[in-house]
Structure 1
Amino acid sequence: MPLWPRALRAQPPFPDQPVKMIVPFAPGGPADIIARIIGQAMGAKLGQPVVVDSRSGAGGAVGVEAGARSRPDGLTTVLASTGALVVLPHLMPRMAYDAQKDLAPIIQVLSVPQILVVRKGRGVTSVAEVVALAKRQPGKLTFGSAGNGSSLHLAGELFKLKAGIEITHVPYRGAAPAVTDLLGGTIDMILADVPVVLPHIRGGELLALGVTAEQRAPILPDVPTMAEAGVPGVISETWYALFAPASTPKDRIAKLHDAAAAALQDDAVRRSLAEQGGQIVGGTPQQLADFMVSESRKWGELVQLANVTLN
């Protein structure tokens, strides 16, 4: 019996071992929660577990670099978000990776808008009142963020630009301490991802004024969009997408995409992701690639207009 050439021998099924999903943020945060929700469902589709690997640091850049530098065999993915993909490249002169060249898009998972909130009893109850107060007292009002160059910082800068106001940025080491100071009255407002402030909104401690999306957030249907509240053009969302290292074989990208797409159609997954306050996206790898180009252009222009720096 002739021996078949090595190339024609039966190849082992993919994946034949667990798939790693790198999350560029600390455990317990929104990215970690989203990764575990989608990872569990993907594992059921792939026939192998999807293991979450937290690699936090430098606003997500550490984890994204780890994903980009991983072996391109389809067994390592990275769930990255807006900042490390399309904002930091405009703020850091020497990035260790090029998100559009070193990563292979798989699928966009979720898009979570920010929401403008103030402490209840602050004396303002609408976006229009915030704008009016800021115009009467230029530079006096403050807004907190998760740090210089974070998506929350950029959302605040976009709000300033579109509303024609001057409010002072106060950066923190993460969204949680910013919310703590907002509750304590140290700062006046914050544009935060919905899940970060939702418990305080529901608890009556914070007042939600406007959502930075084209449509209202289903989880907060009574809160107007920023456009409905009188400031159009404030569209800012923290989006999460799944990638593999560049050069990962296309058939393996396709299998990972199909597993993720199927997971996003699962009723239990959809309910769990809805609790994160965002909109499930989906789509093809090419749609994600095109979206990254447009997002990079948008935030790059804002960084220049607002003179945003990491200092």
Structure 2
Amino acid sequence: MNQRILPAIAYAIAGAALACASLAHAAYPDKPIRLVVPYPPGGVGDTVSREVGQQLAQRLGTQVVIENRPGGKLVIATENVARAAPDGYTLLLASVSSFALNPAGMKSLPYDPRKDFAPVSRLFDAPLILVASPSLGVDNVKQLIAYARSHPDKLNYGSIGAGSSTHLAAELMKADARIDLTHIPYKGSAPAIADLLGGRIQMMFDGGPSSLPHVQSGRLKLLAVTSAKRFSYLPEVPTVAESGLPNYDVTPWWGIVAPAGTPQPIVDRLAAEIADITRNRVLRDKLGKQGVELVASTPAEFGALIETEIARWTRFFKQTGISLDDE
């Protein structure tokens, strides 16, 4: 065959492939999208996923099916999406737990958040709040730390489970403030709050919706929020950082990722739609009352956040000796 013809054929084949890929991207989506949520129905992750999924479905002109796959420290759902086809039709609700805490605190995982996924967008934050029993007689974080130092081994704190953000938030305070705190893990927020109200534990970090009604009734005292900046829906409440521990920041975050290899035009399209959804004032106010702050990002920004958080929590686990394999 003429040597001049061969390059021409190669260019033609490559051009045809690019044209087909462009057409496929232009047609996206032409079938339902599966959004895998690693939590049972009813929790904050599920609630926000359904709200955002409904908005995304309207914008994309296709159905967004929420698939709940709880269990296994979020590993079951995460691994499922890591092995899915990279075509934009399977997405995952990722979180600081599955994409930073697990990789930093567990020796072995069946997925790699860096290699197995394409970041799409950060989606929302849900800062924790620090609540304490009024019987302690403390009004802020500085007074709580002073009490802990003058009453060693006298402060018990509850969490929604070992290895959870509510557990690690207290352990980070314990390390930063150099105080003694005793961990009492519970299977969820409700039994922990019940024991806090009953006096078995004296403090806990918790999500706002379960604790704020007791703050409003005067049965619990709200000391601080855990995020680096004040939560927009509790603007009068100081952060832990501005209350005596300047480097403190525990901001549970969630975002959307796709399997690695998902075409960039699809990733960018999804990121742009999500960014528009998070700017919806009605939705922001609705979720804000549930302790949620919608926060979008570019794919690159979300990827950088994941890298930063893995490094940060890896240092924390090495410093404290805590291992999530033991929990």
TM-score over 0.5 for the pair? yes
| 2:273 aligned with 1:254 | no
Q: Matches of 2:320 and 2:207 in 1, distance apart?
A: 21
Q: Matches of 1:267 and 1:182 in 2, distance apart?
A: 35
Equivalent pair of 1:106/1:257 in contact (CA under 8 Å): yes
2:237 counterpart residue number: 223
The 4+ residue runs of structure 1 with deviation greater than 3 A are 5-12
TM-score by length of 1: 0.92
Q: Match for 1:145 among 131, 136, 159?
A: 159
Letter of the structure 2 residue corresponding to residue 154 of structure 1:
L
In structure 2, do the counterparts of structure 1 residues 85 and 174 end up closer, same or farther at CA, with 3 Å as the change threshold?
A: farther
Q: Matches of 2:219 and 2:94 in 1, distance apart?
A: 31
Q: How far is 1:217 from its partner?
A: 1.6
1:124 counterpart residue number: 138
Letter of the structure 1 residue corresponding to residue 44 of structure 2:
P
Equivalent pair of 1:155/1:234 in contact (CA under 8 Å): no
Q: Matches of 1:190 and 1:212 in 2, distance apart?
A: 12
> Superposition pairs for residues 43-62 of structure 1, below 5 Å?
43-62=57-76
In structure 2, do the counterparts of structure 1 residues 45 and 299 end up closer, same or farther at CA, with 3 Å as the change threshold?
A: same
Q: Counterpart of 1:271 in 2: which secondary structure?
A: helix
> Superposition pairs for residues 150-165 of structure 1, below 5 Å?
150-165=164-179
1:76 counterpart residue number: 90
Q: Matches of 2:210 and 2:63 in 1, distance apart?
A: 29
Equivalent pair of 2:228/2:250 in contact (CA under 8 Å): no
Equivalent pair of 2:284/2:293 in contact (CA under 8 Å): no
Q: Matches of 1:209 and 1:288 in 2, distance apart?
A: 30
Larger radius of gyration: 2
Q: Counterpart of 2:307 in 1: which secondary structure?
A: helix
In structure 2, do the counterparts of structure 1 residues 304 and 175 end up closer, same or farther at CA, with 3 Å as the change threshold?
A: farther
Equivalent pair of 2:127/2:250 in contact (CA under 8 Å): yes
Q: How far is 1:215 from its partner?
A: 2.0
Q: How far is 1:180 from its partner?
A: 2.6
Q: Matches of 1:225 and 1:98 in 2, distance apart?
A: 32
Q: How far is 1:199 from its partner?
A: 2.9
Q: How far is 1:220 from its partner?
A: 1.8
Q: How far is 1:178 from its partner?
A: 2.0
| 2:156 aligned with 1:134 | no
Q: How far is 1:216 from its partner?
A: 1.7
Letter of the structure 1 residue corresponding to residue 320 of structure 2:
A
Q: Matches of 2:43 and 2:299 in 1, distance apart?
A: 25
Q: Match for 1:24 among 6, 26, 38?
A: 38
1:36 counterpart residue number: 50
Output the aligned Cα RMSD: 2.0
Q: How far is 1:146 from its partner?
A: 2.0
> Superposition pairs for residues 202-217 of structure 1, below 5 Å?
202-217=216-231
Q: Matches of 1:189 and 1:58 in 2, distance apart?
A: 27
Equivalent pair of 1:217/1:278 in contact (CA under 8 Å): no
TM-score by length of 2: 0.88
- Identity over aligned pairs, percent: 37
Letter of the structure 2 residue corresponding to residue 270 of structure 1:
R
- Post-superposition Cα deviations, 1:18-39, rounded to whole Å, max 9, x if no partner, equal 1111111111111011111111
- Post-superposition Cα deviations, 1:251-277, rounded to whole Å, max 9, x if no partner, equal 211221122111112222222232232
Q: Match for 2:300 among 286, 299, 305?
A: 286
Q: Counterpart of 1:101 in 2: which secondary structure?
A: coil
Q: How far is 1:97 from its partner?
A: 0.5
More off after superposition, 178-187 vs 233-242? 178-187
Q: Counterpart of 1:148 in 2: which secondary structure?
A: coil
Runs (5+) with no aligned partner, structure 1: none
Q: Matches of 1:181 and 1:22 in 2, distance apart?
A: 33
2:280 counterpart residue number: 266
Equivalent pair of 2:271/2:297 in contact (CA under 8 Å): no
2:104 counterpart residue number: 90
Q: Counterpart of 2:222 in 1: which secondary structure?
A: strand
Runs (5+) with no aligned partner, structure 2: 1-12
Q: How many residues align?
A: 308
Letter of the structure 2 residue corresponding to residue 151 of structure 1:
S
Q: Matches of 2:153 and 2:114 in 1, distance apart?
A: 37
| 2:203 aligned with 1:189 | yes
Q: Matches of 2:120 and 2:37 in 1, distance apart?
A: 15
Q: Match for 1:99 among 113, 116, 130?
A: 113
Q: How far is 1:200 from its partner?
A: 2.6
